[in-house]
Amino acid sequence: MSSRRERVRQAAIEEIKSIAWKIINEQGITEVTVHAIAKQMGMTPPAFYSYFKSREALMKSLVLDAYESFQSALESARDSLPEEKMAKQILAIYIAYREWAITHPALFGLFAGREVPGFNPPEEDIVKKSDTMVAIFFEVYQKASKAGLLTTPDKRPPLPESYRTQISKLKQQLKIEIAEEVINSMIHIAFLVHGIISMEISGRYQHMLNDFSQLYVYQVSNELKKIGLDPD
């Protein structure tokens, strides 16, 4: 059981992070400063450093929190359907990806495209957490491959040799056995998914598209069908 002092300290840390998220949502990442947080906390800037050794340490904590929340959403979607319904399970993970992102745009922005000061390049534990997110997708595709559900896309030009080499290294890194052409399709879907979500969150295309949900499901489902996964 934690001591009262430890509980008070943890409560202060959570309040600091809550204030940081509020600033990010309302003003942007660059406005998250030690002075701004200390002012709202009613403490001096030096007191802040007794909880986080630097602004970068706080930002790192926020990024890891974002990954934890995202991982939980993806795993819940994966576990909501049995493996016998593999295509629907994979689509559910992609749908959870979008729903989490549009519900938590600030968190999504922290690790999915927005530059985070102090993390260029990101630290090793953040890279590992990112790899864990990627692994969730590759694990379900690997199971689909072992079940004989994946097919090589037709009528596509050969992959450039340098790109094929990169995919081969990725296979070794993740210890997966999936055809390189299928992995190329998976990468294509990842770019498609990220692009649609980013367009939706930006709000710049609302005058052209007012129902991103149907567009998203249609596009992802169509790409999954090309590799033998029919969620319909």
- Structurally, at CATH architecture level, domain 1-53 sits in Orthogonal Bundle (1.10)
How do the domains of the chain map onto residue ranges? 1-53, 60-225
Cis peptide before 121 (omega within 30 of 0): yes
Q: Rounded to whole angstroms, how far apart are CA atoms 105 and 99?
A: 10
Longest alpha-carbon distance in the chain: 65
Task: Give tens-digit pLDDT for 56-84.
Answer: 899 889 888 888 999 999 999 999 999 89
Class of domain 60-225: mainly alpha
Q: Rounded to whole angstroms, how far apart are CA atoms 66 and 181?
A: 31
Question: Do 145 and 178 touch, CB atoms closer than 8 A?
Answer: yes
Helices 180-202/161-174 angle, 10° precision: 90
Same fold, 1-53 and 60-225: no
Mean of the per-residue pLDDT values of the chain: 88
* Residue type at 74 in one-letter notation: L
What six digits make up the tokens of 23?
């600033």
* Residue 47: HSE in the Cβ half-sphere, 13 Å Cα cutoff: 13
**Predicted local distance difference test score (pLDDT) of residue 114:** 54
* Residue 37: HSE in the Cβ half-sphere, 13 Å Cα cutoff: 30
Average pLDDT per block of 10 residues along the chain, 232 residues long: 84 94 86 92 92 90 88 95 94 96 85 58 74 88 93 84 92 87 92 92 79 93 95 90
Question: Do 60 and 123 touch, CB atoms closer than 8 A?
Answer: yes
DSSP 8-state assignment for residue 153: P
**Predicted local distance difference test score (pLDDT) of residue 1:** 60
* DSSP element (H, E) containing 54: none
